[in-house]
Amino acid sequence: MTRPFRVAVIGSGPSGMYATDALVSQEDIPVSVDIIDRLPTPFGLVRYGVAPDHLSIRSVRDTLDKVLDHPGVRFLGNVEVGRDVSLVQLREFYDAVVLTYGASRDRGLGIPGEELAGSIAATDFVNWYTGHPDTSPDAFSDFLASSTSVAVIGVGNVAVDVTRVLSKAPDEIEHTDMPEHVFAALRASGIHDVHLVGRRGPAQATWTTKELRELGELAQTQVLVAEGGEVDDVASVRAVAEDKAVARNVAVVEGWSGHVDDGRERSIHLHFRCRPVEILGKDRVEGLVVETTTLDDEGQASGTGQTHVIAVDGVIRSVGYRGTALEGVPFDDRRNVIPNREGRVLDGDTPLPGVYVAGWIKRGPTGIIGTNKKDAVQTVACLLEDAADLAAWTAVQPETMAVDAALGDRVVVGTSGWRSIDAAERALGASRGRDRTTLHDRAVLLEAAGD
Protein backbone atom coordinates (compact mmCIF):
# COMPACT_ATOMS: atom_id res chain seq x y z
CA MET A 1 0.00 0.00 0.00
CA THR A 2 1.63 3.17 -1.15
CA ARG A 3 -1.03 5.63 -0.14
CA PRO A 4 -3.46 6.05 2.73
CA PHE A 5 -6.99 4.75 2.46
CA ARG A 6 -8.95 7.78 1.26
CA VAL A 7 -12.29 8.70 2.79
CA ALA A 8 -14.67 11.57 2.04
CA VAL A 9 -16.93 12.57 4.91
CA ILE A 10 -19.92 14.60 3.71
CA GLY A 11 -21.00 17.02 6.42
CA SER A 12 -18.94 18.52 9.24
CA GLY A 13 -21.48 18.40 12.06
CA PRO A 14 -20.83 16.33 15.18
CA SER A 15 -21.34 12.96 13.44
CA GLY A 16 -18.96 13.88 10.59
CA MET A 17 -16.32 15.16 13.00
CA TYR A 18 -16.65 12.12 15.28
CA ALA A 19 -16.44 9.77 12.28
CA THR A 20 -13.30 11.57 11.09
CA ASP A 21 -11.79 11.37 14.55
CA ALA A 22 -12.50 7.64 14.73
CA LEU A 23 -10.91 7.15 11.29
CA VAL A 24 -7.69 9.04 11.94
CA SER A 25 -7.13 8.01 15.53
CA GLN A 26 -7.00 4.25 14.82
CA GLU A 27 -3.65 2.75 13.89
CA ASP A 28 -4.51 -0.35 11.85
CA ILE A 29 -4.82 1.36 8.48
CA PRO A 30 -3.35 4.71 7.43
CA VAL A 31 -6.33 6.89 6.52
CA SER A 32 -6.70 10.36 5.06
CA VAL A 33 -10.04 12.19 5.29
CA ASP A 34 -11.52 15.06 3.31
CA ILE A 35 -14.46 16.59 5.18
CA ILE A 36 -16.76 18.24 2.65
CA ASP A 37 -19.41 20.74 3.76
CA ARG A 38 -21.72 22.93 1.72
CA LEU A 39 -21.20 25.77 4.23
CA PRO A 40 -17.95 27.74 4.53
CA THR A 41 -17.80 26.87 8.24
CA PRO A 42 -17.57 23.51 10.00
CA PHE A 43 -19.55 21.94 12.89
CA GLY A 44 -23.12 21.90 11.49
CA LEU A 45 -25.72 21.92 14.25
CA VAL A 46 -23.16 22.77 16.92
CA ARG A 47 -22.93 26.13 15.18
CA TYR A 48 -26.41 26.36 13.63
CA GLY A 49 -28.56 24.35 16.03
CA VAL A 50 -27.35 24.48 19.62
CA ALA A 51 -28.82 27.60 21.17
CA PRO A 52 -26.29 30.45 21.47
CA ASP A 53 -27.03 30.86 25.18
CA HIS A 54 -26.06 27.23 25.85
CA LEU A 55 -22.41 28.14 26.08
CA SER A 56 -21.16 24.90 27.59
CA ILE A 57 -22.83 22.73 24.91
CA ARG A 58 -21.53 25.06 22.20
CA SER A 59 -18.02 24.74 23.59
CA VAL A 60 -17.96 21.19 22.20
CA ARG A 61 -16.80 22.88 19.01
CA ASP A 62 -13.37 23.33 20.61
CA THR A 63 -13.14 19.53 20.84
CA LEU A 64 -14.41 19.05 17.29
CA ASP A 65 -12.03 21.73 16.03
CA LYS A 66 -9.00 19.73 17.21
CA VAL A 67 -9.89 17.01 14.70
CA LEU A 68 -9.08 19.49 11.92
CA ASP A 69 -5.49 19.74 13.22
CA HIS A 70 -4.74 16.13 12.28
CA PRO A 71 -2.29 16.03 9.33
CA GLY A 72 -4.46 13.46 7.53
CA VAL A 73 -7.57 15.65 7.65
CA ARG A 74 -8.61 18.36 5.18
CA PHE A 75 -11.70 20.58 5.43
CA LEU A 76 -13.31 21.47 2.10
CA GLY A 77 -15.97 24.03 2.98
CA ASN A 78 -18.33 25.83 0.59
CA VAL A 79 -18.59 22.67 -1.52
CA GLU A 80 -21.99 21.11 -2.09
CA VAL A 81 -22.21 17.46 -3.06
CA GLY A 82 -24.76 17.13 -5.84
CA ARG A 83 -23.98 20.63 -7.16
CA ASP A 84 -20.19 21.17 -7.15
CA VAL A 85 -19.23 17.52 -7.23
CA SER A 86 -21.38 14.43 -7.67
CA LEU A 87 -21.52 11.37 -5.50
CA VAL A 88 -20.51 9.33 -8.56
CA GLN A 89 -17.31 11.41 -8.80
CA LEU A 90 -16.63 11.06 -5.09
CA ARG A 91 -16.91 7.31 -5.37
CA GLU A 92 -14.21 7.44 -8.05
CA PHE A 93 -11.92 9.72 -6.05
CA TYR A 94 -12.23 8.04 -2.66
CA ASP A 95 -12.14 4.48 -1.39
CA ALA A 96 -15.12 5.19 0.86
CA VAL A 97 -17.69 7.94 1.34
CA VAL A 98 -19.40 8.57 4.70
CA LEU A 99 -22.63 10.56 4.49
CA THR A 100 -23.17 12.64 7.63
CA TYR A 101 -25.21 15.51 6.20
CA GLY A 102 -27.87 15.39 8.88
CA ALA A 103 -31.55 16.31 8.73
CA SER A 104 -31.95 20.00 8.15
CA ARG A 105 -35.50 20.40 6.81
CA ASP A 106 -38.54 21.12 8.97
CA ARG A 107 -41.53 18.82 9.32
CA GLY A 108 -44.96 20.22 8.61
CA LEU A 109 -48.16 19.85 10.63
CA GLY A 110 -50.43 19.28 7.64
CA ILE A 111 -53.23 21.41 9.10
CA PRO A 112 -55.21 24.25 7.50
CA GLY A 113 -53.70 27.71 7.96
CA GLU A 114 -50.12 26.49 8.21
CA GLU A 115 -49.13 28.66 5.25
CA LEU A 116 -50.48 31.92 6.77
CA ALA A 117 -48.14 34.83 7.49
CA GLY A 118 -47.02 34.52 11.10
CA SER A 119 -46.83 30.71 10.91
CA ILE A 120 -43.17 29.68 10.80
CA ALA A 121 -40.90 26.66 11.24
CA ALA A 122 -38.63 26.44 14.29
CA THR A 123 -35.83 25.13 12.05
CA ASP A 124 -35.87 28.42 10.08
CA PHE A 125 -36.07 30.52 13.24
CA VAL A 126 -33.14 28.63 14.80
CA ASN A 127 -31.13 29.07 11.59
CA TRP A 128 -31.84 32.78 11.74
CA TYR A 129 -30.86 33.40 15.35
CA THR A 130 -27.68 31.34 14.99
CA GLY A 131 -26.65 33.36 11.91
CA HIS A 132 -27.00 30.67 9.22
CA PRO A 133 -25.81 32.10 5.87
CA ASP A 134 -28.90 30.79 4.04
CA THR A 135 -31.26 32.92 6.16
CA SER A 136 -31.84 36.56 5.41
CA PRO A 137 -30.99 38.92 8.33
CA ASP A 138 -34.47 40.42 8.30
CA ALA A 139 -36.31 37.09 7.86
CA PHE A 140 -38.07 37.34 11.24
CA SER A 141 -37.99 41.08 12.01
CA ASP A 142 -41.69 41.48 11.06
CA PHE A 143 -42.69 38.29 12.84
CA LEU A 144 -41.09 39.47 16.09
CA ALA A 145 -42.24 43.06 15.84
CA SER A 146 -45.84 42.28 14.94
CA SER A 147 -46.50 39.29 17.24
CA THR A 148 -47.49 39.57 20.89
CA SER A 149 -48.51 36.03 21.79
CA VAL A 150 -47.16 32.96 19.98
CA ALA A 151 -47.76 29.22 20.12
CA VAL A 152 -44.75 26.92 19.93
CA ILE A 153 -46.05 23.52 18.82
CA GLY A 154 -44.13 20.50 20.09
CA VAL A 155 -42.60 19.77 23.48
CA GLY A 156 -39.04 18.73 22.61
CA ASN A 157 -35.73 20.49 23.27
CA VAL A 158 -35.93 22.65 20.14
CA ALA A 159 -39.30 23.99 21.32
CA VAL A 160 -37.71 24.73 24.70
CA ASP A 161 -34.78 26.54 23.01
CA VAL A 162 -37.10 28.69 20.90
CA THR A 163 -39.34 29.46 23.88
CA ARG A 164 -36.35 30.46 25.99
CA VAL A 165 -34.87 32.71 23.31
CA LEU A 166 -38.25 34.42 22.88
CA SER A 167 -38.81 34.75 26.62
CA LYS A 168 -35.45 36.05 27.77
CA ALA A 169 -34.94 39.71 28.47
CA PRO A 170 -32.32 41.25 26.12
CA ASP A 171 -29.67 41.49 28.83
CA GLU A 172 -29.99 37.74 29.48
CA ILE A 173 -28.91 36.91 25.93
CA GLU A 174 -26.68 39.70 24.66
CA HIS A 175 -23.46 38.09 25.91
CA THR A 176 -23.84 35.37 23.26
CA ASP A 177 -22.40 35.09 19.73
CA MET A 178 -25.71 35.90 17.99
CA PRO A 179 -25.29 38.39 15.12
CA GLU A 180 -26.10 42.02 15.92
CA HIS A 181 -29.23 42.05 13.69
CA VAL A 182 -30.66 39.21 15.80
CA PHE A 183 -30.20 41.18 19.03
CA ALA A 184 -31.82 44.20 17.39
CA ALA A 185 -34.87 42.18 16.27
CA LEU A 186 -35.21 40.44 19.65
CA ARG A 187 -35.00 43.82 21.41
CA ALA A 188 -37.83 45.08 19.18
CA SER A 189 -39.92 41.95 19.78
CA GLY A 190 -43.48 42.52 20.98
CA ILE A 191 -43.89 38.93 22.19
CA HIS A 192 -44.76 38.64 25.89
CA ASP A 193 -46.68 35.35 25.95
CA VAL A 194 -45.40 32.02 24.64
CA HIS A 195 -47.76 29.02 24.64
CA LEU A 196 -45.95 25.68 24.52
CA VAL A 197 -48.36 23.14 23.07
CA GLY A 198 -47.98 19.36 23.45
CA ARG A 199 -50.40 16.88 21.96
CA ARG A 200 -49.73 14.41 24.79
CA GLY A 201 -49.04 14.80 28.54
CA PRO A 202 -45.99 15.94 30.54
CA ALA A 203 -44.86 12.31 30.89
CA GLN A 204 -44.57 11.98 27.10
CA ALA A 205 -42.69 15.22 26.43
CA THR A 206 -39.29 14.67 24.79
CA TRP A 207 -37.50 17.63 26.39
CA THR A 208 -34.76 16.96 28.94
CA THR A 209 -35.07 18.07 32.56
CA LYS A 210 -32.09 20.42 32.62
CA GLU A 211 -33.42 22.32 29.59
CA LEU A 212 -36.98 22.33 30.93
CA ARG A 213 -35.91 23.69 34.33
CA GLU A 214 -34.17 26.64 32.67
CA LEU A 215 -37.58 27.99 31.63
CA GLY A 216 -38.33 28.54 35.30
CA GLU A 217 -35.09 30.42 35.88
CA LEU A 218 -35.65 33.37 33.54
CA ALA A 219 -35.45 36.77 35.19
CA GLN A 220 -38.61 38.42 33.92
CA THR A 221 -40.72 35.41 32.93
CA GLN A 222 -43.18 33.25 34.82
CA VAL A 223 -44.18 29.69 33.85
CA LEU A 224 -47.85 28.76 34.14
CA VAL A 225 -49.47 25.38 33.48
CA ALA A 226 -52.51 26.29 31.42
CA GLU A 227 -54.09 22.88 30.84
CA GLY A 228 -53.67 19.11 30.67
CA GLY A 229 -50.77 18.89 33.16
CA GLU A 230 -52.26 16.11 35.28
CA VAL A 231 -50.52 12.72 35.31
CA ASP A 232 -53.38 10.34 36.09
CA ASP A 233 -53.70 8.05 33.08
CA VAL A 234 -52.31 4.50 33.03
CA ALA A 235 -49.49 5.17 30.57
CA SER A 236 -48.23 8.31 32.33
CA VAL A 237 -48.36 6.79 35.82
CA ARG A 238 -46.41 3.79 34.53
CA ALA A 239 -43.87 5.98 32.70
CA VAL A 240 -43.21 8.00 35.88
CA ALA A 241 -42.73 4.81 37.89
CA GLU A 242 -40.41 3.18 35.36
CA ASP A 243 -38.34 6.04 34.01
CA LYS A 244 -36.43 8.43 36.27
CA ALA A 245 -36.00 11.00 33.51
CA VAL A 246 -39.77 11.10 32.96
CA ALA A 247 -40.36 11.37 36.72
CA ARG A 248 -37.99 14.35 36.87
CA ASN A 249 -39.73 16.11 33.97
CA VAL A 250 -43.14 15.53 35.51
CA ALA A 251 -41.92 16.82 38.89
CA VAL A 252 -40.77 20.06 37.25
CA VAL A 253 -44.16 20.58 35.59
CA GLU A 254 -45.97 19.71 38.84
CA GLY A 255 -43.82 22.27 40.64
CA TRP A 256 -45.20 24.92 38.28
CA SER A 257 -48.81 23.74 38.34
CA GLY A 258 -49.70 25.79 41.42
CA HIS A 259 -48.36 29.04 39.96
CA VAL A 260 -50.85 31.84 39.56
CA ASP A 261 -50.26 34.83 37.33
CA ASP A 262 -48.10 37.25 39.31
CA GLY A 263 -48.36 39.97 36.70
CA ARG A 264 -44.84 39.56 35.38
CA GLU A 265 -43.99 41.13 32.05
CA ARG A 266 -43.57 37.82 30.22
CA SER A 267 -45.26 34.43 30.60
CA ILE A 268 -44.76 30.90 29.30
CA HIS A 269 -48.01 28.88 29.28
CA LEU A 270 -47.82 25.08 29.11
CA HIS A 271 -50.68 23.35 27.30
CA PHE A 272 -50.75 19.56 27.32
CA ARG A 273 -53.13 17.11 25.66
CA CYS A 274 -53.85 19.67 22.94
CA ARG A 275 -53.62 18.58 19.31
CA PRO A 276 -53.40 21.44 16.81
CA VAL A 277 -56.15 21.13 14.21
CA GLU A 278 -56.23 24.52 12.48
CA ILE A 279 -54.45 27.85 12.40
CA LEU A 280 -57.03 30.61 12.13
CA GLY A 281 -56.64 33.85 10.22
CA LYS A 282 -57.49 35.69 7.03
CA ASP A 283 -54.17 37.18 5.99
CA ARG A 284 -52.11 36.26 9.02
CA VAL A 285 -52.37 34.12 12.15
CA GLU A 286 -55.26 35.06 14.44
CA GLY A 287 -55.53 31.96 16.64
CA LEU A 288 -54.72 28.27 17.02
CA VAL A 289 -57.52 25.72 17.25
CA VAL A 290 -56.60 22.67 19.34
CA GLU A 291 -58.50 19.50 20.10
CA THR A 292 -58.30 18.05 23.60
CA THR A 293 -56.84 14.54 23.57
CA THR A 294 -56.89 11.51 25.85
CA LEU A 295 -54.08 8.98 26.12
CA ASP A 296 -54.49 5.25 25.61
CA ASP A 297 -52.61 2.69 27.72
CA GLU A 298 -49.57 3.03 25.44
CA GLY A 299 -49.50 6.79 25.85
CA GLN A 300 -50.76 7.52 22.31
CA ALA A 301 -53.14 10.45 21.88
CA SER A 302 -56.59 10.37 20.38
CA GLY A 303 -58.92 13.31 19.89
CA THR A 304 -62.01 13.86 22.06
CA GLY A 305 -63.78 16.02 19.51
CA GLN A 306 -63.69 18.98 21.92
CA THR A 307 -61.87 21.98 20.52
CA HIS A 308 -60.93 25.42 21.78
CA VAL A 309 -58.88 28.35 20.54
CA ILE A 310 -55.58 29.48 21.99
CA ALA A 311 -55.37 33.24 21.40
CA VAL A 312 -52.13 33.76 19.50
CA ASP A 313 -50.97 35.90 16.58
CA GLY A 314 -47.97 33.73 15.71
CA VAL A 315 -47.29 29.99 15.44
CA ILE A 316 -43.91 28.27 15.46
CA ARG A 317 -44.01 24.59 14.62
CA SER A 318 -41.27 22.66 16.35
CA VAL A 319 -42.25 19.12 15.50
CA GLY A 320 -38.89 17.71 14.47
CA TYR A 321 -36.32 17.85 11.71
CA ARG A 322 -36.45 15.84 8.48
CA GLY A 323 -33.67 14.27 6.41
CA THR A 324 -33.59 14.60 2.63
CA ALA A 325 -32.43 12.31 -0.16
CA LEU A 326 -29.12 12.64 -2.00
CA GLU A 327 -29.03 11.71 -5.67
CA GLY A 328 -27.53 8.29 -6.21
CA VAL A 329 -28.24 6.98 -2.70
CA PRO A 330 -31.28 4.93 -1.64
CA PHE A 331 -33.69 6.78 0.66
CA ASP A 332 -36.41 5.68 3.06
CA ASP A 333 -39.22 8.17 2.36
CA ARG A 334 -41.22 7.05 5.35
CA ARG A 335 -38.51 7.50 8.00
CA ASN A 336 -36.60 10.19 6.07
CA VAL A 337 -33.28 8.40 6.58
CA ILE A 338 -30.81 6.55 4.35
CA PRO A 339 -31.47 2.82 4.77
CA ASN A 340 -28.49 1.15 6.41
CA ARG A 341 -27.29 -1.70 8.56
CA GLU A 342 -25.05 -0.38 11.35
CA GLY A 343 -23.91 2.40 9.01
CA ARG A 344 -23.46 0.38 5.79
CA VAL A 345 -25.83 1.95 3.25
CA LEU A 346 -28.25 -0.64 1.89
CA ASP A 347 -29.62 -0.93 -1.61
CA GLY A 348 -32.51 -3.26 -0.87
CA ASP A 349 -30.82 -5.85 1.29
CA THR A 350 -27.38 -5.42 -0.22
CA PRO A 351 -24.73 -3.01 1.06
CA LEU A 352 -23.75 -0.34 -1.47
CA PRO A 353 -19.97 -0.84 -1.65
CA GLY A 354 -17.93 1.96 -0.10
CA VAL A 355 -20.89 4.12 0.99
CA TYR A 356 -21.61 4.63 4.69
CA VAL A 357 -23.83 6.82 6.79
CA ALA A 358 -23.72 8.26 10.33
CA GLY A 359 -25.68 10.70 12.50
CA TRP A 360 -29.21 11.99 11.97
CA ILE A 361 -29.38 10.91 8.31
CA LYS A 362 -28.60 7.37 9.55
CA ARG A 363 -30.95 7.08 12.51
CA GLY A 364 -33.26 10.13 12.41
CA PRO A 365 -33.17 13.40 14.40
CA THR A 366 -32.80 12.06 17.92
CA GLY A 367 -30.35 12.14 20.80
CA ILE A 368 -27.87 14.62 22.16
CA ILE A 369 -24.55 15.57 20.56
CA GLY A 370 -22.70 12.76 22.35
CA THR A 371 -25.09 10.18 20.84
CA ASN A 372 -23.41 10.86 17.50
CA LYS A 373 -20.04 9.71 18.78
CA LYS A 374 -21.17 6.17 19.50
CA ASP A 375 -23.13 6.17 16.26
CA ALA A 376 -20.12 7.36 14.18
CA VAL A 377 -17.79 4.86 15.85
CA GLN A 378 -20.16 2.03 14.88
CA THR A 379 -20.15 3.17 11.24
CA VAL A 380 -16.38 3.57 11.13
CA ALA A 381 -15.90 0.08 12.61
CA CYS A 382 -17.91 -1.33 9.67
CA LEU A 383 -15.94 0.76 7.19
CA LEU A 384 -12.59 -0.40 8.54
CA GLU A 385 -13.80 -4.00 8.53
CA ASP A 386 -14.67 -3.63 4.81
CA ALA A 387 -11.58 -1.64 3.85
CA ALA A 388 -9.55 -4.53 2.55
CA ASP A 389 -12.44 -5.67 0.34
CA LEU A 390 -13.32 -2.36 -1.18
CA ALA A 391 -12.47 -2.44 -4.85
CA ALA A 392 -10.64 0.85 -4.75
CA TRP A 393 -8.25 -0.51 -2.17
CA THR A 394 -6.43 -2.53 -4.82
CA ALA A 395 -7.64 -0.74 -7.93
CA VAL A 396 -5.70 1.81 -9.92
CA GLN A 397 -4.64 4.53 -7.50
CA PRO A 398 -6.89 7.55 -7.76
CA GLU A 399 -5.02 10.65 -8.76
CA THR A 400 -3.96 12.55 -5.69
CA MET A 401 -6.38 15.38 -4.94
CA ALA A 402 -8.59 14.46 -7.91
CA VAL A 403 -11.45 16.17 -6.15
CA ASP A 404 -9.57 19.47 -6.20
CA ALA A 405 -9.30 19.32 -9.98
CA ALA A 406 -12.98 18.44 -10.28
CA LEU A 407 -13.92 21.51 -8.22
CA GLY A 408 -12.28 23.78 -10.78
CA ASP A 409 -12.45 27.43 -9.72
CA ARG A 410 -15.01 26.90 -6.96
CA VAL A 411 -13.92 28.93 -3.89
CA VAL A 412 -13.10 26.24 -1.33
CA VAL A 413 -12.63 27.14 2.33
CA GLY A 414 -9.90 24.97 3.81
CA THR A 415 -8.88 24.59 7.43
CA SER A 416 -6.74 27.72 7.29
CA GLY A 417 -9.66 29.64 5.78
CA TRP A 418 -11.87 28.45 8.64
CA ARG A 419 -9.18 29.54 11.13
CA SER A 420 -9.28 33.02 9.55
CA ILE A 421 -13.09 33.13 9.88
CA ASP A 422 -12.74 31.99 13.48
CA ALA A 423 -10.21 34.77 14.21
CA ALA A 424 -12.42 37.37 12.51
CA GLU A 425 -15.45 36.31 14.58
CA ARG A 426 -13.44 36.46 17.81
CA ALA A 427 -12.09 39.89 16.89
CA LEU A 428 -15.56 41.19 16.05
CA GLY A 429 -16.90 39.78 19.33
CA ALA A 430 -14.02 41.33 21.31
CA SER A 431 -14.81 44.74 19.80
CA ARG A 432 -18.26 44.39 21.41
CA GLY A 433 -17.12 42.93 24.72
CA ARG A 434 -18.10 39.37 23.79
CA ASP A 435 -16.15 36.17 23.13
CA ARG A 436 -17.37 35.99 19.56
CA THR A 437 -19.90 37.36 17.10
CA THR A 438 -21.08 35.03 14.35
CA LEU A 439 -20.52 36.26 10.79
CA HIS A 440 -23.72 35.36 8.96
CA ASP A 441 -23.23 36.63 5.43
CA ARG A 442 -21.74 34.09 3.04
CA ALA A 443 -19.79 36.70 1.07
CA VAL A 444 -18.35 38.12 4.31
CA LEU A 445 -17.47 34.60 5.48
CA LEU A 446 -15.66 33.89 2.20
CA GLU A 447 -13.86 37.21 2.40
CA ALA A 448 -12.78 36.49 5.99
CA ALA A 449 -11.62 33.02 4.92
CA GLY A 450 -9.32 34.61 2.35
CA ASP A 451 -7.67 36.98 4.84
Residue ranges in contact with ligand NAP by CB under 6 A: 54, 57, 109, 153-159, 161, 198-200, 204-206, 208, 211, 276, 318-321, 365-368
Sign of the dihedral through C-alpha 205, 207, 208, 213: negative
Cα angle 427, 429, 433; round to 5:
115
51 contacts 127 by C-beta, under 8 angstroms: no
To ligand NAP, the closest distance from the beta carbon of 256 in angstroms equals: 18
In the bound state with ligand NAP, the residue whose beta carbon lies nearer, of 287 and 351, is: 287
Per the document, the length of the chain is 451
Q: How far apart are the first and last CA of the chain?
A: 38
Nearest to 150 by CA among 192, 198, 112, 202: 192
In the bound state with ligand NAP, the residue whose beta carbon lies nearer, of 33 and 109, is: 109
Nearest residue to ligand NAP, by Cβ distance, number only: 156
d(C-alpha 410, C-alpha 38), whole Å: 12
In the bound state with ligand NAP, the residue whose beta carbon lies nearer, of 79 and 182, is: 182
In the bound state with ligand NAP, the residue whose beta carbon lies nearer, of 146 and 208, is: 208
Q: How far is CA 282 from CA 116, 149, 290, in A?
A: 8, 17, 18
In the bound state with ligand NAP, the residue whose beta carbon lies nearer, of 208 and 378, is: 208
To ligand NAP, the closest distance from the beta carbon of 302 in angstroms equals: 12
Rg for the chain, CA atoms, rounded: 23
SS3 193: strand
In the bound state with ligand NAP, the residue whose beta carbon lies nearer, of 155 and 285, is: 155
To ligand NAP, the closest distance from the beta carbon of 165 in angstroms equals: 12
Start-end of H helices in 258-398: 360-363, 371-386, 391-394
To ligand NAP, the closest distance from the beta carbon of 208 in angstroms equals: 6
To ligand NAP, the closest distance from the beta carbon of 23 in angstroms equals: 25
To ligand NAP, the closest distance from the beta carbon of 378 in angstroms equals: 18
Q: DSSP code of 271?
A: E
In the bound state with ligand NAP, the residue whose beta carbon lies nearer, of 245 and 427, is: 245
Nearest to 352 by CA among 122, 96, 1: 96
To ligand NAP, the closest distance from the beta carbon of 28 in angstroms equals: 33
